Amino acid sequence: MRHFDLVVIGTGPAGQKAAIQASKLGKDVGIIEKKEVVGGSCLHTGTIPSKALREAVMALTGTTGQRERSRPQKKITLDDVIFWSNRVIRSEMEIIEDQMMRNGVELIRGTGRFEDAHTLKVTREHSSERVTGDYFVIATGTTPAHDPMLPYDNINVVDSDGLLHLKRLPRSMVIVGGGVIGTEYACILATLGVQITLIEGRDSLLGFVDHEVIEALQYHMRQVDITLRLGERVERVELSDPENRPGFSNSLVRATLESGKHIRSDTLMYCIGRSGATQSLGLENVGLETDHRGRIKVNEFYQSEVPHVYAAGDVIGFPALASTSMEQGRLAACHIFGGSTNSFPELFPYGIYAIPEISMVGKTEGQLTEEGIPYEMGIARYKECARGQLLGDDIGMLKMLVHEETRELLGVHIIGTGATELIHIGQVAMAHHGTLDFFIQNVFNYPTLAEAYKIAALNANNKLATA
Ligand SMILES: Cc1cc2nc3c(=O)[nH]c(=O)nc-3n(C[C@H](O)[C@H](O)[C@H](O)COP(=O)(O)OP(=O)(O)OC[C@H]3O[C@@H](n4cnc5c(N)ncnc54)[C@H](O)[C@@H]3O)c2cc1C
Ligand SMILES: NC(=O)c1ccc[n+]([C@@H]2O[C@H](COP(=O)([O-])OP(=O)(O)OC[C@H]3O[C@@H](n4cnc5c(N)ncnc54)[C@H](O)[C@@H]3O)[C@@H](O)[C@H]2O)c1
């Protein structure tokens, strides 16, 4: 039986960083992975495939600047897009495996299940073994939440994992759930020419994003013929019998909404959130419970109620991003082995890879209003920047929120080309309690989109001066 200082379960972003950090601190580390491939849902079904798909679609359709946004120039097959994605996934996988090998992290393939508080049984198809550990980091991530009433068949009714295995591009698709996954895929697939209907139970998509940015996004989604059904919920989904389709016309799926509307399509994708992958971990043998969505409760050090068992990444819930999962895994290993550590930063950005992309850091106008914080707003439109003109991005916008008295930056919200990169300028300024004067008094490269920060700061300054 092999013994490790630390056993990590799961090779997604949280598990990778926990394992490598512990190994850098001189510890013996084993990492368990139930799939044949390393990288987690991040690399195989989540972040990377969806972003590779997006990049491929943008390149193949020539959707670079928004002005050129159009229907595909040539017929693009799902194979074209998957070919692009697989190239990225393969090289990312090699990088992860190399990193683990170089750092002496022992990769053990199989499904891990606790037998007691320090023993994990690792089961493979034809064999099994037991490993023991002084400490554990559970980094098993999530799987798509399912509605038991739905007829999932992985062909016509799929979740976001199943989407990646479709054999052909559907003509039409209903997407249920206007969260991050539903919104990103709606934009990507519509750009490919799929006729999309997006159904969201709330009154707008992505409720945590600045309302003006969401209004702009929803406007542009409609411009590419995405039908938004907001404030609507799906009551029933039926698959048609191909031989006999009264009420289905030529479509294969019919969704009935609570409002009584029928929506017909070739395919329906459900993305209504995700559940912690904890069911088969044998947590009861360690004395751990999960919440109703399978998530593990941890303290600020990522320590569960059983002190030598830590958990990090999506399995602990919010914010459930690859970016935050990596840092949680690293911090967990630092806490276990006494490495120098910081606490998780209060300020971190969100990047939403819709088309156009969106990014935000800090507070929204809604939050500032609710908290009674006096603020002013500065806006820069990309079309005011030479770089925006060069890119043909007429719709991009950067909104800066500053404290009315201290002039400190409180939030930055961007929609448009490069939003997910540009946001980090605002993040750095905010982390150092920067004011809008930094942007006014400094010079930026020209022509760049970063110039939008200066334009927005001047705009806010003008409003403050006349207030
Ligand atoms: C469609 C989609 C798009 C996304 N886009 C973004 C994005 O753009 N940006 C972003 O920051 N985040 C994005 N995310 C979220 C991101 O993918 C997750 O936050 C991230 O993957 C979580 O990492 P993790 O290490 O916690 O878990 P995962 O990446 O889910 O990895 C968990 C691993 O544990 C393994 N495992 C599970 N149970 C066991 C067991 N019992 N034994 C052994 N191994 C086990 C699994 O096989 C898996 O390999 C996206 C997610 C989805 C679904
Ligand atoms: N760019 C990124 O960072 C990125 C991209 C994709 C996914 N993710 C991660 O993946 C997680 C899961 O994403 P998700 O989109 O599945 O979940 P989500 O929780 O973000 O959104 C689910 C949405 O579905 C709606 N909904 C639920 N049931 C419904 C019903 N019956 N009818 C209509 N609408 C319904 C909810 O109101 C909600 O808006 C996210 O929380 C995020 O952490 C991140």
The predicted structure's pLDDT at residue 68: 47
Count CB-CB contacts under 10 A for residue 369.
12
Residues 116 and 163 in one domain: no
**Residue 316 CA to ligand 1 centre (angstroms):** 12
Say if ligand 2 is within 6 A of residue 322 CB.
Answer: no
**Selection from 123, 115, 121, 94 nearest residue 34 by Cα:** 123
Q: Do 407 and 296 fall into the same domain?
A: no
Domain co-membership, 285 together with 213: no
Q: Which amino acid, one-letter code, is at 104? A: G
Distance CA 80, CA 355 (A): 19
Tell me the CA distances in angstroms from 192 to 9, 53, 142, 187, 311, one per residue in order.
37, 10, 28, 9, 39
Q: Please state the atom number of ligand 2 nearest to the C-alpha of residue 206.
A: 39
Q: Is 115 annotated as a binding residue?
A: no
CA distance 61 to 268: 24
Residues 6+ positions from 95 with CB-CB distance below 8 Å? none
* Amino acid 354: pLDDT: 97
ipTM of the complex as predicted: 0.95
461 in the same domain as 321: no
Question: Do residues 193 and 228 share a domain?
Answer: yes
DSSP conformation class of 371: T
Which ligand is nearest the CA of 321, by number? 1
Which range marks the domain in which residue 239 is found?
A: 157-272
Q: How many residues does the chain have?
A: 467
Instruction: Provide the token pair at 356.
Output: 């156009």
CA distance to 17, 132, 405, per residue, from 308 (Å)? 18, 12, 47
Ligand 2, residue 350: give the atom nearest the CA.
3
CATH assignment of the domain containing 433? 3.30.390.30
Per the CB < 8 A criterion, the answer to whether 182 and 200 are in contact is yes
Residues 121 and 232 reside in one and the same domain: no
Do residues 60 and 161 make contact, with C-beta atoms less than 8 angstroms apart?
no
The ligand 2 atom at the shortest distance from the C-alpha of residue 352 is 1
How far apart are the C-alpha atoms of 381 and 365, rounded to whole Å?
A: 18
Query: How far is residue 369's CA from residue 319's CA, in Å, rounded to a whole number?
Result: 23
Domain of 322, CATH number, reads 3.50.50.60
Q: Which of 223, 245, 272 is the last residue of a domain?
A: 272
Same-domain status, 83 and 134: yes
CA angle (122, 288, 331) in 5-degree steps: 80
Task: Tell me, yes or no, whether 34 lies in a domain.
Answer: yes
281 lines ligand 1 (CB under 6 A): yes
Nearest atom in ligand 1 to the alpha carbon of residue 185 is 1
Which conformational region is residue 225 in: left (phi greater than 0), alpha (psi within -120 to 50 degrees), or beta?
Answer: left
Q: Is residue 31 part of a domain?
A: yes
In terms of domains, do 326 and 428 share one? no
Q: Which two tokens mark 449? A: 């989109």
**Residue 168 and residue 265 share a domain:** yes
Regions of the chain where pLDDT drops below 50: 67-70
Give a yes or no: residue 348 inside a domain.
Answer: no
Q: How many helices (H) and strands (E) does the chain have?
A: 13, 22
Are residues 297 and 241 part of one domain? no
All residues at 6 or more sequence positions from 276 whose CB lies less than 8 Å from its CB, including other chains: 140, 141, 142, 290, 291, 293, 294, 295, 296, 314, 315, 316, 317
Closest protein CA for atom 28 of ligand 2: 272
* Count of CA atoms in the C-beta half-sphere (13 A) of 433: 1
The answer on whether 179 is annotated among ligand-binding residues is yes
Q: Residue 240 gets which letter from DSSP?
A: P
Same domain, 261 and 280: no
Q: Note whether 106 and 231 are same-domain residues.
A: no
CA–CA separation, 298 and 139 (whole Å): 12
Nearest ligand to the C-alpha of residue 15? 1
Q: For residue 444, how far is its CA from the centre of ligand 1 (angstroms)? A: 37
Q: In this structure, is residue 346 part of a structural domain? A: no
Q: Are 171 and 201 in contact (CB under 8 A)?
A: no
Token pair recorded at residue 70: 């159009």
Q: Is there a binding annotation on residue 133?
A: no
Number of domains in the chain: 3
Of 35, 36, 30, nearest to 15 (Cα)? 30
- Write the DSSP string, 391-437: HT-SS-EEEEEEETTT-BEEEEEEESTTHHHHHHHHHHHHHTT-BHH
Is the pTM here over 0.90, yes or no? yes
> Contact, 365 vs 400, CB < 8 A?
no
- Has residue 343 been placed in a domain? no
CA atoms within 13 A on the CB side of 369: 6
Phi, psi angle pair for 172, to nearest 5° = -140, 150
d(CA 254, CA 241): 11
149 three-class SS: coil
Ramachandran class of 123: left when φ > 0, alpha when ψ lies in -120 to 50, beta otherwise: beta
Q: What angle do CA 114, 119, 122 make, to 5 degrees?
A: 65
Nearest CA to ligand 2 atom 2: 352
Per-residue pLDDT of 290-341, as tens digits, reads: 999 999 999 999 999 999 999 999 999 999 999 999 999 999 999 999 877 7
CA dist., res. 35 & res. 143, Å (int) = 13
Question: Backbone phi, then psi, for 400, in 5-degree steps?
Answer: -115, 135
Task: Please report whether residue 351 resides in a domain.
Answer: no
Q: Where are the alpha helices (DSSP H) in 202-246?
A: 211-223
**463 sits in which H/E element:** helix 451-466
